[in-house]
Structure 1
Amino acid sequence: MKQKIVIIAILAVLLTLLYAFKAGVFNEGEDAYANLKVPDVIDYNFHIKPILSDNCYTCHGPDANKRKAGLRLDLEETAFLELKENPGNYALVSGKPGESLLYGHIMTDDPNLMMPPPDSKLALNSYEKKLIRKWIQQGAKFEKHWAFIPPTKKEVPTLEVLDGVQNEIDGFIFKKLEEHNVLPSERASLETLIRRVSLDLTGLPPQREQVQKLLADTSEATMAKIIDKFLASPAYGERMTQSWLDLARYADSHGYQDDSYRTMWPWRDWVIHAFNENMPYDDFLTLQLAGDLLPNATKEQILATGFNRNHPITQEGGVIQEEYRTNYVLDRTNTLGKGILGITLECARCHDHKYDAISQKDYFELFAFFNQVNEKGLQMDAVQAANQKFFADPPYIEISAKETEDVLSFINMKKTPKIKVMVMNDSAAKTTYILNRGEYDQPTDSVKPNTPKTIFPFSEEFPENRLGLAKWVTDKNNPLTARVFVNRIWGMLFGRGLVETSEDFGVQGSLPTHPELLDWLAADFMEHDWDVKYLLKKIMLSATYQQKSELRPDLKKVDSENRLLARAPRFRMSGEMIRDYILASSGLLNTEVGGPSVKPYQPPGLWEETNAGGNRGILTKYIPGEGDDLYRRSLYTFWKRTLPPPSMTIFDAPTRDFCEVRRQKTNTPLQALALQNDVQILEAARVLAQRTLVEKEDSNAIVENIFQSLLVRSPKKEELLTLNNYYHDALETYLNNVEDAKKLVAVGEYEQLDVDPAKTAALMLTAQVIYNLDETITKE
C-alpha cells in the first residue's frame, strides 16, 4: 500500500513538471528578459560593468595570473588592443558590434567559441546581450568605477507635485517614485515617530513622561525638537558605539584557543565620549588610525588607537611569532578596507584582485603602513592573564582611574587604580615585502607604504606612516570614506543602505538604488565638516524617513522589497536593542555610562564547555555580576570571542573575530524560545508587573498601563479586551495555585516587592505576552 502511495506521488510530481514545461513556466525568466526595454542611453557603470564583472572578469579581469588570451576587459586602455592570439582582430571596435569579437563570442551557438564557455556555468540572457550590442553601437565608452569617482552634489530633481517634500532627500526619493508611478506613504503618527527616533538615536524606547511632554508640544518645529532631545542624550553615544564595536571587532578576550581576558573597555569609553561630543568623523578616524603619531599626542589621542589593537591575539606557547605578527597586520589592513573604505582588500592578499583593480602589490603597500607597529608585550602567560596584569612595554598605555575620569568625563570608576590598555606605537622602520600567496615566510619584492591609485593617489605631502594614511583616508577627494559612512548611517536608519553591500563598494558589490542621493549626502556631509549629528538630523527631517511603515498592496508588484522607499522600513531590532528595550521598559535598566564590562545572566555550563585553556581560576568559570551590574546596557556585556553572549548570538550578533559592518538577519525558533524563557525577560516582566500593581490600584487599568509602558501607544479596543481576558484567566488559575505563582515570581535577583503573588504572576505573564509581540521587538 505504501509503495503504491509513493508511486502515485512521484507520478503526480512528474505530471506537474511536464505541465510546467509545456506552459513555459521554466522559460519565464528568459521570456521576461526578452520583453525588457533597453534604455535609450547605456550607462557603463550601471548597465555594462556588472555584466562583464559577473561573466568575464574571472578570465579577463584584473588578476594577471588567471588572465586568458592576453585580454583584459576591465580597463579601457587594454580592452581595445589588438588580440595577441588573433592578430588583426579586436575584442571591441567602437560603434561596430559586428567587428567586435566580444559580441560575436557571446552570440554564437558554437560551444568551442561561446563566451562565457559552457563549462563555466555562466551565460548572458537576451536582455544583457542587447545591452552589450547597444553599448558597442554607442561607442563602447568606459567610465571609472562609480565608487572611485569623488562624490559631487548634483542638482536636486524637480518634481511635478511638491506636496510632502521636506528637504533635498525627498527630491531624490520622490523623483524615483514619480518615475515608477508610485506615491509615497502618509506621515506616521507622532507617537510612532517619537518611538522611531528614540530607537534610532538612543537604542532605547522613550519614557512615557517624555512621550507625553513631546506630544503636548504643538509647535511647527516639533520634529526637530524631538530629534535634538534624543541627540543630546548620553544614550546617543552608547547607541552609536554599539554599531561601531562590530566594525572595530571589539572584545574583552584575546581569542584563539586560550581566549584569556584583555582590558580594552577604556577605548570603548573613548568612542562613547567621541560620539556624545559629536567629534567630526574625519577626526574620529584620524585618532583611531594614528592618534599616537600626532604632535604632542595626549593620552586621550593615544587611547583612541586601541582601535587597531582590537584584533584577536594569541597567548599560546610554541607558536611562530612572525606568523601571528603578520596576521595582526593583515587584520588591520583588512579592517581599514572593509570597515572604513568599503572595499574587499583581503581578496588581494594572495593574488591580484579578481574583480577590482587592486593588485597584490597595492595590498602590501597598504599593509606597510601597519607593518611598522611595535608588537612587543602581546604575549601573556597564564598567571598574568588570570590576574589581568599586562606588560608595560610600549604597546600599552597606563591610565589611572583619575585620568580616565578627566579624559572621558566619566565618574564612578569601580575598580582599579591603574588600567593598562593596548595602543599603537611604531618601532624602527621595517622593510615590507609582497608575500607569495600571502604566506608570512615567502617574501618576494619589497614595497614601501602607498595607497591604490585606482581609488585615490597618495599625496607626496603625506608622511609615509599611519598619520599619512589617515590624511589620505579623510581627504575630501577620497571617493570612498564619506560615501561608505553615509551609507552605513542610512542602513542603520532604514535597515538597508542605499548600497546594500555596505562592506563592498567594488564591482561585485550592489549598485546604489539612488546614486545621486548617495553622492549628494556624502558631499553635503563633508561640506558640513563631517558632522555626524547633522547628518542624522538631515535624514530624519525628511518626509521619506517620517512615512508610515504599513505594507501597501500597490507596492507588492512594483517594489516588494521597498527599495524605492515608498514607505518607512519595518525590521527587527538587534539582540542588544531587544534586551535593552526590555530592561528600559521594565524600569530595570542601569543607565550608568562607561566603565568595565559586566556579566549578566547566562545559561550555566556554556562558559566552561568552551574554555580549552585548563585551570585558570576566574577564566574557567562564569560568575554573573551582582546588583545593578546585571542590568547595564548590552553594550557593556563581557564579550568573550569563543563564547559571545548567547542571548545576542541567537539574534545574529557576530563573534567579533574580525571586522563586520552588516549583520545577517535570520528568523529562527530559538529566537522565539529566548523571548519566552530567558531569565532576563522573565525577571523584567515580574518587576514591571510588581511595580504596576504597587502604583495602580484600579485593576481595570493595570493591563493598559503595562501595554503603554512597552509599546508607547494606547492599545486598541480589541487588543485591550484580549489582554484583559488573558490576565483574568491567568489570575483565576494562580488564585487556585498560589504555590505555583510563588515559584514563577521568584525568578531573578532583583528585589521582590510586597505584592500579591497570584496577581503578580498573572500580570507578569501578560507582560511577557506583550514582550513577545512582533511590534515590541520591531522598529517601524
Structure 2
Amino acid sequence: MRLIVRAVPLPLALMVASLLSAPLPLAEAVDYEKDVKALFAERCFACHGVLKQEAGLRLDTAAFMKTGGDSGPAITPGASHSSLVWTRVSSTDPDLRMPPEGEPLKANQIAAIEKWIQSGAPAPEQEEPEQDPEQHWSFQAPVRPMVPTISPPTEETLHPIDAFLAEKQQIAGVQSVSPLDRRLWLRRVSLDLTGLPPSDADQNAFLEDHSPDARGKVIDRLLESPQYGERWGRHWMDIWRYSDWWGLGAEVRNSQKHMWHWRDWIIESLQQDKGYDQMILEMLAADELYPEDVSRLRATGYLARQYFKFNRTTWMDETIEHTFKGMLGLTVNCSKCHDHKYDPITQQNYYELRAIFEPYQVRMDIIGDETDLQNNGIPRAFDCNLDAPTYLHVRGDERNPQTDRPLAPNVPGFLSSTAPFEVRTVQLPVRAVHPGVRDEVAAAYRKQAIRKKENATAAVEGMNKEGETKSPLEREILLLKKSIADQELQSIDLRHTADRLRYLAETMDGSPDQVLAEAARSVTQLAVYRAELACKELDWQTSQESDNKKKEELQKKQETANKQLDEARKKHESPGTDYPSLVGSEKTAESNIESEESRKKPFPKQSTGRRSALARWIASDKNPLTARVAVNHLWARHFGAPLVPTVFDFGRKGSPPTHPELLDWLAVEFMESGWSMKHMHRLMLTSSLYARTSSSKGATEETLRSDRENRLYWRMNPIRMESQVLRDSLLALAEELDMRTGGPSVPVSDAMSKRRSLYYFHSKNEHNQLLSVFDDANVLDCYRRATSIVPQQALALENSQLAQELAIKIAQRIGATSPNSNIPDGDFVVLAFRKLLGYEPNPQEIERSIRFLESLRQAMPVNQDAAPDVASQKSDPLPPQAAFLLALLNHNDFITIR
C-alpha cells in the first residue's frame, strides 16, 4: 500500500496550528460537579485527595486547587493553558502526563477541564472536601433502622422488606406489578432453594392447599430437604473459590486432592443451619479451635484450596485477597505494592495481614479405613513454621524484602477498634501433634493388615489343598508372606500401644521401656521377614530363568538382598527403643526438594493463634462488614441483583448500596438471628417482592419512565438458570437424578453420570463441558456468575446425548411416545408446559405446538414413531414428542427462572 502525502497550503496550516494552541470557545457550559469533579474523583483523588496528597496537592475542592501544593497553584482561573492541572493532563510526555497510571484522559475530558478553568473555575461556595475515608458508610457499624410506616398501609407493606422498598417506590412514583401465578411461584422457589423443579406431586399438593400459610409450608419443606444444602452449597462454593486439584499430570500444583471433604462440610453446615459466624471460625481456624474434631477440620479445606506449590508469595496473596473479598468485601490486594488508593489500608497493613497466614501450611490426615493418602484423606491447615518472619516487599517485589523490619500480625487500624483482634498461642492436644495415636488411625492400619493376613492365609490353605503341586521354594515364599502379614498386624498393635504410652502417658502393665522395646523389636522382626521374602523370591526367579545374562543380573540382586538380610538380622538382635510411629498425617510438599521424611515428622505442639484471632475478628457482630457482605450475597441470589452492586468491594471505590437502610436492617437481623441463613431465606422469600411477576406487563408508564431497569424492585428480576441447575433439572424431570449426597468427585469423563452436577470434578484444568457452555463457575474468581446468551448453548442442548436421552424419558413420564398411547397431542402439550415451564399454555401456544408435533410426525421415517431403546438414540431421529420437549428445554422460559 502506497502512502500518498499531499502538501498543505501555508495559510491553512497556520490556521490549524492556531486553533490547536488557543483555548476552546465556551460554546457549552461545563458542569463542574458532573464533568470535572467526578472525573478527578475517579482518576485523581487516589493520589491527590483526603487519603494521600502527592506533592502536597489536593484536588477534591476548587479551593484546594487554587491553593495548590509544592509546585504552587494547580489552577489559574481564566487561564487554562498556564494552569498546572491542564498542562499535566494534556501532556504527551509519559514522564509528565497525569494521571501516571492507566489510560490518558480522553480528549473530551481534557477539553472539559480546559473550559472549566477558562470560564473562571466556578464551584459551589460551600463545597465539601472528600469525606474522611474512615467515615465511609460500610466502615460504620450497622444500626437497625426503624421499619418505614407506609400510608395507606396494605397487606404487602406489612413485611419489613416490602416496607423499605415501598418507601422509595412512593417517592419515585413507582408502582409494583401484580403477583406471580402460583404454579410459577412454586417453580421459582423450588429452583431457588433446591436447584430442582417441583415434582408433579408437589405441584398438585400446593395448588390444592389454599391455607394462608401455603407458601410458608413450601418454603419450610424445601429448606429441610437435603437438596437445599446442595443448591446453596454451590453458591458458597462459588464465593469461596472451591476447586479440585490441578497441576501437571499426577503432580498437585494447585489446591489439594480430596477437596470434596470440604465441599461436603459446606453442604452439611448449610443443611444443619450452622451459623455463618461459626462457619467462618471453622474455615479459618478449626485446627486451632477444634483440633481433635475431624468433622470440623474438613472446613480448613478453605485454606488448603489456596495451596500453590511453586511460589509461597502467590499462595499468600491469593489467601489474603480472597479471604477479604469473600468475607469482608475489601480489596486489600490493591495495597500489596503501595498504600491503597481509595481505602485507608497501607502497604504495611497488607503485610501485617500476611503475617497472620505466614505460619500455615497444609497436611493430609488419614480418615476412614484408607491409609494410602493418595486414595483418601482430609486436606487441612496447620501452623507449621511458627517463627516464620514476614517482611514488607518493596513495591511488592518479593526479591526485595525489608528484612530489618519483621512485621507482627495485625488487621487494618481503621477496623481494629470496631472488633477485637487478640492473638493467643494455642497449645495443641497430643492427637493433633501425633495423629498416629488416634484410635481411628490404628483401626485403619489394622483393617488393612487383617485383609493382607486373610489373603495370605487363604493362599497357604489353598497350597495345602493342592498338595505337592508347588515347589518347596514357592511354599516357603507363601509361608513367609503369611508370617509377614501376622507380624504386620502384631507390629501395628505394639506400635500403637507404645505411641499411646509415649505420647499420652497412659498407665499400663509393664515398664515403659519394655513396651517401647517390644514395639521396636516388632518392626525389626518385620524387616527381617521382608528381607527373607526378598531373598526367597529372587531365589525362585533365578531358578526359573534360562537366559544366562538375566540370571547373572538376578544373582547380583541376590547378593545385595543377602547383605540387607544380614543387616536386618543384626539390627533385630539389638532393636533398642526407637521405632517408626504409625503415620496419621503427611505434610504437603512445599517444593520438589522437600524430603518424604520431613513430611512425616511430628507436627508442632503449638499453633500461633493468629488465624483464630482473625476468624473471631471477622465473625464478630462488631465487625461492620461481615454481615452486610453475607446478606448482600443472599439477596443477590434470591432477587437477581445485589443491594451493593460491587459484591466484593464495599470500599470507597465500590458502588454505594441502592437501599442502605434495608441493607443495614437485614445485616442486624442476620446477626441477631444467630447468623442463621435459613432464617434469612424465610424472611426474603416470604416478602411480597419475591411473589411478584418478573414481567413488566401491566407496569404504569410512570414506572417504566422512572425505573425501567428495576432498581427499585417494583417487579422481580428474571434469573437465568445456573449451569448446575439446568443439568440437574433435566435429570429431575426425567426422574433419573441420583439423589445420593456427598462423596468423592465424579470424573469429568463420566459425562452421562446421574449425580448432581456440583459433585463433578471441577478445576482450572478439568470441568464438565456442558456446564462450561452455560457459564460455569470460574475457580479463580466467582463472586457473581457471568451470564451469557450465545448460540452454542442452544446447540449444546439440542445435540447433547444426555439431553436427548432425557427428553425421551421425560416424554415417557408425561404420556408415552408410542402411537398406541391414547393421550391427545393437546393434552400432552398442556402437561409438557406445566412440567417444564411451570405455566399453562395459552390457546395459541397449544395450536402451534400441535402443528409442530404433526410436522415432526410427517417427517419421521416409517416405524420411527415408536418409543425407541434409549441406548440406541445416538443417530436415529428423536420421536416427535421427545423432539418437541427438546425444543421446550431450549425455550427461554425453561432456562429463565421467571
Under a length normalisation based on structure 2, what TM-score does the superposition of the two structures give? 0.67
- Larger mean CA deviation between 474-483 and 126-135 belongs to 126-135
Q: Are 1:441 and 2:399 counterparts?
A: yes
Q: Are 1:684 and 2:809 counterparts?
A: no
- Larger mean CA deviation between 259-268 and 522-531 belongs to 259-268
Partner residue of 1:343 out of 326, 330, 346: 330
Give the drift of 1:675. 2.1
Q: Are 1:638 and 2:761 counterparts?
A: yes
8 Å CA contact retained: 1:503, 1:662: no
8 Å CA contact retained: 2:370, 2:376: no
Q: 1:229 to 1:35 in 2, by over 3 A?
A: farther
Give the drift of 1:738. 3.1
Q: 1:459 to 1:71 in 2, by over 3 A?
A: farther
Question: How many Å separate the matches in 2 of 1:205 and 1:698?
Answer: 24
Q: 1:519 to 1:698 in 2, by over 3 A?
A: same
Q: Are 1:674 and 2:800 counterparts?
A: no
Q: Are 1:252 and 2:210 counterparts?
A: no
Give the drift of 1:295. 4.9
- Indicate the residue corresponding to 1:776 in structure 2: 894
Counterpart mapping for 1:495-644 below 5 A: 495-552=640-697, 554=701, 555-599=703-747, 623-624=749-750, 630-644=753-767
- Larger mean CA deviation between 129-138 and 721-730 belongs to 129-138
Q: 1:460 to 1:667 in 2, by over 3 A?
A: closer
Q: 1:137 to 1:60 in 2, by over 3 A?
A: closer
8 Å CA contact retained: 2:739, 2:755: yes
- Indicate the residue corresponding to 1:176 in structure 2: 168
Give the drift of 1:578. 1.1
Question: How many Å separate the matches in 2 of 1:107 and 1:136?
Answer: 21
Superimposed CA distance per residue, residues 683-730 of structure 1 (whole angstroms, 9 cap, x where no aligned partner): 211221233344964233333322222122222222122112211221
Match of 2:337, SS state, is coil
Alignment-mate amino acid for residue 644 of structure 1: H
- Indicate the residue corresponding to 1:12 in structure 2: none
Question: How many Å separate the matches in 2 of 1:548 and 1:571?
Answer: 12
Alignment-mate amino acid for residue 785 of structure 2: R
Counterpart mapping for 1:170-319 below 5 A: 170-255=162-247, 262-311=257-306, 313-314=308-309
Alignment-mate amino acid for residue 633 of structure 1: R
Q: Are 1:359 and 2:349 counterparts?
A: no
Question: How many Å separate the matches in 2 of 1:648 and 1:238?
Answer: 16
Question: How many Å separate the matches in 1 of 2:130 and 2:167?
Answer: 29
Match of 1:308, SS state, is helix
8 Å CA contact retained: 2:865, 2:880: no
Alignment-mate amino acid for residue 136 of structure 1: Q
Q: 1:763 to 1:401 in 2, by over 3 A?
A: farther
Give the drift of 1:244. 1.5
8 Å CA contact retained: 2:193, 2:222: yes
Q: 1:142 to 1:265 in 2, by over 3 A?
A: closer
Superimposed CA distance per residue, residues 629-649 of structure 1 (whole angstroms, 9 cap, x where no aligned partner): x11111011113223322222
- Indicate the residue corresponding to 1:400 in structure 2: 368
Give the drift of 1:171. 1.4
Match of 2:614, SS state, is helix
Give the drift of 1:560. 2.2
Partner residue of 2:89 out of 112, 117, 125: 117
Give the drift of 1:132. 10
- Indicate the residue corresponding to 1:69 in structure 2: 55
Q: 1:79 to 1:515 in 2, by over 3 A?
A: farther
8 Å CA contact retained: 1:237, 1:272: yes
Question: How many Å separate the matches in 2 of 1:283 and 1:442?
Answer: 39
Q: Are 1:55 and 2:50 counterparts?
A: no
- Indicate the residue corresponding to 2:531 in structure 1: none
Q: Are 1:711 and 2:837 counterparts?
A: yes
Superimposed CA distance per residue, residues 502-526 of structure 1 (whole angstroms, 9 cap, x where no aligned partner): 0111122111111111111111111
Q: 1:762 to 1:84 in 2, by over 3 A?
A: closer
- Larger mean CA deviation between 578-587 and 434-443 belongs to 434-443
Q: 1:240 to 1:726 in 2, by over 3 A?
A: same
Match of 1:561, SS state, is coil
Q: 1:72 to 1:634 in 2, by over 3 A?
A: farther
Give the drift of 1:110. 3.8
Question: How many Å separate the matches in 2 of 1:142 and 1:455?
Answer: 14
Give the drift of 1:769. 0.7
- Indicate the residue corresponding to 2:453 in structure 1: none
8 Å CA contact retained: 1:50, 1:507: no
Superimposed CA distance per residue, residues 112-157 of structure 1 (whole angstroms, 9 cap, x where no aligned partner): 3346934541649799999994483468764711111111112222
- Indicate the residue corresponding to 1:148 in structure 2: 139
Q: 1:142 to 1:62 in 2, by over 3 A?
A: closer
Question: How many Å separate the matches in 2 of 1:456 and 1:765?
Answer: 62
Q: Are 1:478 and 2:623 counterparts?
A: yes
Aligned-pair Cα RMSD in Å: 3.7
Q: 1:396 to 1:495 in 2, by over 3 A?
A: same
Question: How many Å separate the matches in 1 of 2:660 and 2:873?
Answer: 52
Question: How many Å separate the matches in 1 of 2:631 and 2:855?
Answer: 51
Question: How many Å separate the matches in 1 of 2:293 and 2:234?
Answer: 25
Q: Are 1:761 and 2:753 counterparts?
A: no
Tell me the percent identity: 31
Partner residue of 1:161 out of 129, 142, 152: 152
- Larger mean CA deviation between 504-513 and 247-256 belongs to 247-256
- Larger mean CA deviation between 341-350 and 116-125 belongs to 116-125
Alignment-mate amino acid for residue 764 of structure 1: A
Match of 1:577, SS state, is helix
Give the drift of 1:59. 3.0
8 Å CA contact retained: 1:152, 1:519: yes
- Indicate the residue corresponding to 1:9 in structure 2: none
- Indicate the residue corresponding to 1:95 in structure 2: none
Give the drift of 1:275. 0.3
Counterpart mapping for 1:40-51 below 5 A: none
- Indicate the residue corresponding to 1:22 in structure 2: none
8 Å CA contact retained: 1:344, 1:506: yes
Question: How many Å separate the matches in 1 of 2:214 and 2:743?
Answer: 35
Question: How many Å separate the matches in 2 of 1:402 and 1:158?
Answer: 61
Question: How many Å separate the matches in 1 of 2:205 and 2:802?
Answer: 30
Question: How many Å separate the matches in 2 of 1:666 and 1:106?
Answer: 49
Alignment-mate amino acid for residue 421 of structure 1: I
Alignment-mate amino acid for residue 322 of structure 2: T
Q: 1:662 to 1:401 in 2, by over 3 A?
A: farther
Give the drift of 1:359. 1.3
Question: How many Å separate the matches in 2 of 1:491 and 1:132?
Answer: 41
Q: 1:257 to 1:69 in 2, by over 3 A?
A: farther
Q: 1:339 to 1:471 in 2, by over 3 A?
A: same
Question: How many Å separate the matches in 2 of 1:196 and 1:154?
Answer: 30
Q: 1:779 to 1:644 in 2, by over 3 A?
A: same
**Number of residue pairs matched by the alignment:** 653
Alignment-mate amino acid for residue 437 of structure 1: R
Structure 2, unpaired ranges of 5+: 1-24, 92-103, 425-608
Under a length normalisation based on structure 1, what TM-score does the superposition of the two structures give? 0.76
Question: How many Å separate the matches in 1 of 2:847 and 2:831?
Answer: 14
8 Å CA contact retained: 2:194, 2:227: yes
Match of 1:423, SS state, is strand
Q: Are 1:85 and 2:73 counterparts?
A: no
